[in-house]
Amino acid sequence: MIRRVPEGAPIVNAAQMRAAEEALFATGMSQDTLMERAGAAVAEQVSRLAGGRPVLVLAGPGNNGGDGYVVARLLAARSVPVSVARFGQPKAGAAARMAAQWDGPVCDLIAAQPHPVVVDALLGIGIPRPFDDGIAAKLSAIMAAAALRIAIDLPSGRHADTGDGSGRADVTIALGALKPAHVLGEGGAACGHILLADIAVPVPTDVLTIAAPVLPKWRYDVNKFSRGMIAVVSGAMPGAGWLAGRAALAAGAGYVQLVGTAPAEGAPHALVRRTITRATDLEAVLDDDRIGAVVIGPGLGRDEDAHTLLDIALASPHDLVIDGDALTLLGRSVAERIGADRRRVCLTPHAGEFARMFDSAGDKLTATRAAAQASGATIVHKGPDTVIAYPDGRLIVSTGTNPGLSTAGSGDLLAGIIGARMAAGDGGSDPVAAGVWLHARAANHMDAVFAVDALPDRITQEVNACPTR
Ligand SMILES: NC(=O)C1=CN([C@@H]2O[C@H](COP(=O)(O)OP(=O)(O)OC[C@H]3O[C@@H](n4cnc5c(N)ncnc54)[C@H](O)[C@@H]3O)[C@@H](O)[C@H]2O)[C@@H](O)CC1
Ligand SMILES: [K+]
Ligand 1, atom 36, lies closest to the CA of 62
Mean pLDDT of 84-98: 98
Looking at ligand 1, which atom is closest to the CA of residue 176?
A: 44
What confidence score (pLDDT) does residue 434 get?
A: 98
Same domain (yes/no): 188, 250:
no
Residue 63 Cα to ligand 2 midpoint, Å, equals: 10
Burial code (b: 16+ CB inside 10 Å, e: under 16) for 378-408 equals bbbbbbbbbbbbbbeebbbbbbbbbebbeee
Q: Which ligand is nearest to the CA of 67?
A: 1
Does residue 362 fall inside a structural domain? yes
- Express each pLDDT in 178-206 by its tens digit: 999 999 999 999 999 999 999 999 999 99
CATH number of the domain at 311, please.
Answer: 3.40.1190.20
Same domain (yes/no): 133, 175:
yes
pLDDT above 90 (res 283): yes
* Residue numbers of the domain that contains 79: 14-204
Pairing state of beta strands 378-381 and 385-389?
antiparallel
Residues 169, 467: Cα–Cα separation, whole Å: 34
Same domain (yes/no): 243, 164:
no
Q: Three-class SS of residue 293?
A: strand
* Chain mean pLDDT for the chain: 97
Mean pLDDT of 395-405: 97
Same domain (yes/no): 172, 303:
no
pLDDT above 90 (res 11): yes
Contacts of residue 106, Cβ cutoff 8 Å, sequence gap at least 6: 83, 84, 85, 86
The DSSP secondary structure of 128-143, one letter per residue, reads: PPPPPHHHHHHHHHHH
Q: What angle do CA 188, 193, 195 make, to 5 degrees?
A: 105
Mean pLDDT of 369-377: 98
Residue ranges of the annotated binding site for AMP are: 382-386, 411
Does residue 9 fall inside a structural domain? no
Same domain (yes/no): 259, 153:
no
What confidence score (pLDDT) does residue 264 get?
A: 84
What confidence score (pLDDT) does residue 265 get?
A: 84
Does residue 8 fall inside a structural domain? no
Q: Which ligand is nearest to the CA of 175?
A: 1
Q: What angle do CA 333, 338, 341 make, to 5 degrees?
A: 120
Same domain (yes/no): 163, 276:
no
Same domain (yes/no): 376, 265:
yes
Pairing state of beta strands 395-399 and 293-296?
unpaired
Ligand 1, atom 30, lies closest to the CA of 131
Q: Which of 163, 189, 204 is the last residue of a domain?
A: 204
pLDDT above 90 (res 30): yes
Does residue 386 fall inside a structural domain? yes
Give the count of domains, the chain: 2
Same domain (yes/no): 402, 361:
yes
Q: Which ligand is nearest to the CA of 126?
A: 1
Mutating to test ligand 1, I would choose from 63, 110, 138 the residue with most ligand atoms within 8 A of its C-beta, which is 63
Q: Is 44 left (phi over 0), alpha (psi -120 to 50) or beta?
A: alpha
Least confident of 99-108, 266-275, 381-390: 266-275
Does residue 5 fall inside a structural domain? no
Burial code (b: 16+ CB inside 10 Å, e: under 16) for 250-283 equals bbbbbbbbbbbbebbeeeeeebebbebeebebbb
Q: What share of the chain is helix, strand, coil (3-state, %, to 5)?
A: 40, 15, 40
Mutating to test ligand 1, I would choose from 123, 159, 203 the residue with most ligand atoms within 8 A of its C-beta, which is 123
What confidence score (pLDDT) does residue 262 get?
A: 87
Same domain (yes/no): 25, 88:
yes
Residue ranges of the annotated binding site for (6S)-NADPHX are: 63-67, 124-130, 153, 240, 299, 350, 412
Does residue 209 fall inside a structural domain? no
Residue 447 Cα to ligand 2 midpoint, Å, equals: 32
Does residue 439 fall inside a structural domain? yes
What confidence score (pLDDT) does residue 267 get?
A: 83
Mutating to test ligand 1, I would choose from 35, 125, 154 the residue with most ligand atoms within 8 A of its C-beta, which is 125
Q: Which ligand is nearest to the CA of 121?
A: 2
Task: Name the pTM for this structure.
Answer: 0.97
What confidence score (pLDDT) does residue 279 get?
A: 97
Q: Which of 144, 171, 204 is the last residue of a domain?
A: 204
Residues 9, 207: Cα–Cα separation, whole Å: 8
Task: Say whether the ipTM exceeds 0.95.
Answer: yes
Pairing state of beta strands 271-275 and 345-347?
unpaired
Residue ranges of the annotated binding site are: 63-67, 120, 124-130, 153, 156, 240, 299, 350, 382-386, 411-412
pLDDT above 90 (res 285): yes
CATH number of the domain at 44, please.
Answer: 3.40.50.10260
* Pocket (CB within 6 angstroms of ligand 1): 21, 31, 34-35, 38, 60-67, 88, 123-126, 128-131, 152-153, 175
What confidence score (pLDDT) does residue 266 get?
A: 86
Mutating to test ligand 1, I would choose from 25, 36, 42, 64 the residue with most ligand atoms within 8 A of its C-beta, which is 64
Same domain (yes/no): 167, 294:
no
Q: Three-class SS of residue 207?
A: strand
Residue 60 Cα to ligand 2 midpoint, Å, equals: 8
Q: Which of 170, 204, 238 is the last residue of a domain?
A: 204
Burial code (b: 16+ CB inside 10 Å, e: under 16) for 86-111 equals bbeebeeebbbebbeebeeeeeebee
Mean pLDDT of 119-145: 97
Burial code (b: 16+ CB inside 10 Å, e: under 16) for 122-134 equals bbbbbebeebeee
pLDDT above 90 (res 1): no
User: Is 50 within 8 Å of 148 (Cβ atoms)?
Assistant: yes
Residues 192, 1: Cα–Cα separation, whole Å: 9
Same domain (yes/no): 337, 243:
yes
Q: 268: cis peptide before it, omega within 30°?
A: yes
Same domain (yes/no): 200, 243:
no
Residues 19, 155: Cα–Cα separation, whole Å: 22
Percent of the chain with pLDDT over 70: 100
Ligand 1, atom 44, lies closest to the CA of 35
Residue 65 Cα to ligand 2 midpoint, Å, equals: 8
Residue 122 Cα to ligand 2 midpoint, Å, equals: 5
Residue 167 Cα to ligand 1 midpoint, Å, equals: 15
The Cα-based distances of 117 to 58, 197, 343, 403 in angstroms read: 11, 19, 54, 27
Beta bridge partners of 171: 150, 193
Q: Report DSSP state, residue 216.
A: P
Where helices occur in 338-430 by DSSP H, the ranges are 351-357, 364-375, 410-423
Does residue 382 fall inside a structural domain? yes
Looking at ligand 1, which atom is closest to the CA of residue 25?
A: 3
Residues 123, 314: Cα–Cα separation, whole Å: 51
pLDDT above 90 (res 100): yes
